[in-house]
Amino acid sequence: MAQYAVIGLGRFGGATALELMKMKHAVLGIDIDIKTVNHFAEQLSRAVIADATDKEALAELDLTSYDGVLVAIGENVEACLVSVVHLKSLGVSNIWVKARSHAQHVILNKIGVSRIIHPEEEIGIRTAQFLSYPMISDYISLGSGDFIVEIIASAQYDENSLGTVLDKYHQDIEVLLIKRKATVTLNPSADFTLRSGDVLVIFGHLRDLRNIAPRLR
């Protein structure tokens, strides 16, 4: 179990804090608003009222002992930046920050923050991908155009071999595993017989995945 601190318990920060709790981590929630803190008091390991722009207040929380600190301050960009500067000066190394704009991103990058999050932008991109390719239930970008995607086989593939479905694209992508209920088959062969509902986890370049996507509708 790790320990995390979340500064700013708005919609994004609050949701992240609660999800970390579900994952059995210890979470310290920090917000300047008493009503917000009271709301999360019984749901987090600890919730405190504190001004994140006050260096002394942050120092008292001993945030250097935490595995990571997420700064999820919403509208107040200045408060976000001041908080990050204080955290870095206190010696907190693993800092994640929610950014609202490109300008804020640039400033955060200049002061040495490597984990900058754009939740609205990222959700928008994922939504567009899912709308464009409804057969993809989830995906992970590995950078440089490489992706791992999760696809659920529809009824039209029932009793077809994996090689038949992938056809000429089989050499350009790699099926890492196929999950059928509680059974997982690693590196399935081309003659593996598919069934409706099978979950395929596929690795490949975006170009090749886009080529095969129409066949998987």
Q: Is the model more confident about 21 or about 210?
A: 21
What range defines the domain where residue 79 resides? 3-118
Closest CA to 93 of 72, 79, 114, 116: 114
For residues 157 and 83, state if they share a domain: no
pLDDT digit string, tens, across residues 17-68: 999 999 999 999 999 999 999 999 999 999 999 999 999 999 999 999 999 9
Q: Does the residue 209 lie in any domain?
A: yes
For residues 58 and 95, state if they share a domain: yes
Biggest alpha carbon–alpha carbon distance for the chain: 65
Q: What is the pLDDT of residue 119?
A: 64
Q: Does the residue 195 lie in any domain?
A: yes
For residues 162 and 211, state if they share a domain: yes
Q: Is the model more confident about 209 or about 21?
A: 21
User: For the purposes of burial, counting CB atoms within 10 Å of the CB of 15, is it exposed (0-12), middle (13-18) or buried (19 or more)?
Assistant: middle
Instruction: Output the 3-class SS for the chain.
Output: CCEEEEECCCHHHHHHHHHHHHCCCEEEEEECCHHHHHHHCCCCCEEEECCCCCHHHHHHCCHHHCCEEEECCCCCHHHHHHHHHHHHHHCCCCEEEECCCHHHHHHHHHCCCCEEECHHHHHHHHHHHHHHCCCEEEEEEEECCEEEEEEECCHHHCCCEHHHHHHHHHHCCEEEEEEECCEEEECCCCCCECCCCCEEEEEEEHHHHHHHHHHHC
Mean pLDDT of the region 74-95: 89
For residues 23 and 93, state if they share a domain: yes
CATH of the domain at 142: 3.30.70.1450
Sequence-separated (6 or more) residues with CB below 8 Å from residue 24: 1
pLDDT digit string, tens, across residues 91-108: 998 999 988 777 888 888
Sequence-separated (6 or more) residues with CB below 8 Å from residue 183: none
Report d(CA 155, CA 39) in Å as an integer: 46
Q: What is the pLDDT of residue 54?
A: 94
CATH of the domain at 103: 3.40.50.720
Give the HSE-up count for residue 210: Cα atoms under 13 Å, Cβ half-sphere.
7
Q: What is the pLDDT of residue 85?
A: 93
Phi-psi region of 2 (alpha: psi -120 to 50; beta: other; left: phi over 0): beta
pLDDT digit string, tens, across residues 114-170: 788 776 656 555 555 544 555 566 767 776 778 788 888 878 878 888 888 777 555
Amino acid at 204: G
pTM of the model: 0.63
- Range with the poorest average pLDDT among 9-13, 68-72, 138-142: 138-142
Domain boundary among 89, 118, 147: 118
Sequence-separated (6 or more) residues with CB below 8 Å from residue 88: 95, 111, 112
Q: What is the pLDDT of residue 153?
A: 81
